[in-house]
A and B are shown apart, each in its own frame.
Chain A
């Protein structure tokens, strides 16, 4: 529902939570964070409600026998970061996608977090070309004229999935999410004429 990075932080120590938040702020990505300081038996439910992109969790707060909820089928798949200190077992470590060593130095901590941010595709250092490609432009016009993804796929002889990928890229480049927003953009830039929409 929200486009900001959503992080679930599950860690008993107040100082460590505050430290992590400061670190996250220094990385410069806007984020929303939910903090939990006690063991959770309803982790799955909480995940379903919040849809976090990132879960930072202290293994001590994972109830024994519980496997971390993952759903490869859905397009929503959180990245788990284990908040560990020296001496944590290899078996525990293997539960997570990434590890953040709380005993590590500043350089190591930031390096790990930057790596994770890159995986999430939210890194600020990412360089990108913000002009629309020919293909994106023709899809934008069709969207603005009121065509559905399926109609566009048929018209351009590509799969609906490809249309959706293009649309995601258009939205990312322009900062415009809705069809009516894209229509306004297309008219302002004279990609389509106002009469064309009224006619359809």
Chain B
């Protein structure tokens, strides 16, 4: 079922509670009363079409309006993606790490296995952090200043040329799969980690990993299939403008 603007926001959560962290990224918080999706978006000064497309891609992974989404502003998208990063690094990863630490203190795992689990997760955390830092320090700032330069009718040739020195192609080519280790961790815990008693905390950890994996999948999908095409269009516009300017000289 597609989520639409006339549904009550409360209904949306009943339909799919996995959307709760997504709502947080739009700074929407609980206590909707009877308000509709449209009203809540208006109250928070959000672009309703953008909101609907994001929640629908998350709600139904087979739904992907590749073409439609490209009409949105890059800055809107980046704001959403950055909040998603913050959710991973400041909340979800530390939460899983905390639970792993707790489970290794409980004494239900062998000593050598504890260390394996902790080290593996630490190396994953490192990998994810490196991936995200690269995007936040290099790629996103480029996209924002590309958009600003294009939006400003007074941008000079020099400014246009300067921004054209980087290309999103570089990102497209080495944007790697950040879920692989998580996928492995899931199978290691489910299939291979010997546990001596029925461990409820391990269930919590697994549940969190599934959730994080699904979220990362959607996130990477948005970066590859929406952000990259939007930026490619902007780069096209940039080249057209430079050609026009140089023809006028």
Chain A residue at minimal CB-CB distance from B217: A2
For residue A31, which residues in chain B have a CB less than 8 angstroms away from its CB?
A: 62
For residue A142, which residues in chain B have a CB less than 8 angstroms away from its CB?
A: none
Chain A residue at minimal CB-CB distance from B124: A180
- Is chain B's interface secondary structure helix, strand, loop, or mixed overall? helix
Whether A181 contacts B184 in the complex (CB less than 8 A), given A31-B62, A33-B62, comes out as yes
Contact mask for chain B residues 187-201; partner A; CB cutoff 8 A; 1 contact, 0 none: 110011110000000
A32 CB-CB contact with B under 8 Å: yes
For the complex formed, measure the closest distance between the CB of B80 and the CB atoms of chain A, giving whole angstroms.
20
B64 CB-CB contact with A under 8 Å: yes
For the complex formed, measure the closest distance between the CB of B102 and the CB atoms of chain A, giving whole angstroms.
20
| Residues of chain A in range 10-32 having any CB-CB distance to chain B below 8 Å | 21, 31-32
Chain B residue at minimal CB-CB distance from A181: B184
Which of B113, B177, B181, B192 is the one whose CB lies under 8 Å from A1? Answer: B177
A79 CB-CB contact with B under 8 Å: no
A158 CB-CB contact with B under 8 Å: no
* Contact surface of A with B, Cβ cutoff 8 Å: 1-3, 21, 31-36, 46, 49-50, 174-178, 180-181, 184-185, 187-189, 194
Which of A1, A50, A174, A187 is the one whose CB lies under 8 Å from B220? Answer: A1
For the complex formed, measure the closest distance between the CB of B216 and the CB atoms of chain A, giving whole angstroms.
11
A184→B225 contact, CB < 8 A: no
* Contact surface of B with A, Cβ cutoff 8 Å: 61-62, 64, 66-67, 112-113, 115-116, 120, 123, 176-177, 180-181, 183-185, 187-188, 191-194, 217, 220-221, 224-225, 228-229
Show 12 residue pairs from A and B whose CB-CB distance is below 8 angstroms, ordered by the A residue: A2-B217, A2-B220, A36-B67, A49-B229, A176-B184, A177-B183, A178-B180, A181-B184, A184-B188, A187-B116, A188-B188, A194-B115
Which of A180, A188, A194 is the one whose CB lies under 8 Å from B192? Answer: A188
Chain B residue at minimal CB-CB distance from A40: B67
For residue B228, which residues in chain A have a CB less than 8 angstroms away from its CB?
A: 49
Chain B residue at minimal CB-CB distance from A21: B62
Which of A1, A3, A185 is the one whose CB lies under 8 Å from B188? Answer: A185
For residue B176, which residues in chain A have a CB less than 8 angstroms away from its CB?
A: 1
Q: How far is the CA of A18 from the CA of B21 in the complex (A)?
A: 29
For residue B67, which residues in chain A have a CB less than 8 angstroms away from its CB?
A: 36
Chain A residue at minimal CB-CB distance from B110: A188
Whether A176 contacts B64 in the complex (CB less than 8 A), given A1-B220, A181-B181, A184-B116, comes out as no
B191→A177 contact, CB < 8 A: no
A34→B188 contact, CB < 8 A: no
For residue B224, which residues in chain A have a CB less than 8 angstroms away from its CB?
A: 1, 49
For residue A36, which residues in chain B have a CB less than 8 angstroms away from its CB?
A: 66-67
B64→A188 contact, CB < 8 A: no
For residue B183, which residues in chain A have a CB less than 8 angstroms away from its CB?
A: 3, 175, 177
Q: How far is the CA of A188 from the CA of B192 in the complex (A)?
A: 7
Which of B116, B184, B228 has the largest count of A CB atoms less than 10 A from its CB?
A: B184
Whether A184 contacts B120 in the complex (CB less than 8 A), given A175-B187, A176-B184, A178-B180, comes out as yes
For the complex formed, measure the closest distance between the CB of A196 and the CB atoms of chain B, giving whole angstroms.
13
Which of B188, B217, B228 has the largest count of A CB atoms less than 10 A from its CB?
A: B188
Q: How far is the CA of A154 from the CA of B217 in the complex (A)?
A: 37
Additional pairs, 4, CB under 8 Å, beyond known A1-B176, A174-B187, A178-B180: A176-B184, A177-B184, A187-B112, A194-B112
For residue B220, which residues in chain A have a CB less than 8 angstroms away from its CB?
A: 1-2
Which of A1, A34, A180, A188 is the one whose CB lies under 8 Å from B194? Answer: A188
A188→B177 contact, CB < 8 A: no
A33→B64 contact, CB < 8 A: yes
A181→B116 contact, CB < 8 A: no
A49→B225 contact, CB < 8 A: yes
A181→B185 contact, CB < 8 A: yes
A185→B192 contact, CB < 8 A: yes
A188→B225 contact, CB < 8 A: no
For residue B192, which residues in chain A have a CB less than 8 angstroms away from its CB?
A: 184-185, 188-189
For residue A34, which residues in chain B have a CB less than 8 angstroms away from its CB?
A: 64, 66
For residue B112, which residues in chain A have a CB less than 8 angstroms away from its CB?
A: 187, 194
For the complex formed, measure the closest distance between the CB of B189 and the CB atoms of chain A, giving whole angstroms.
10
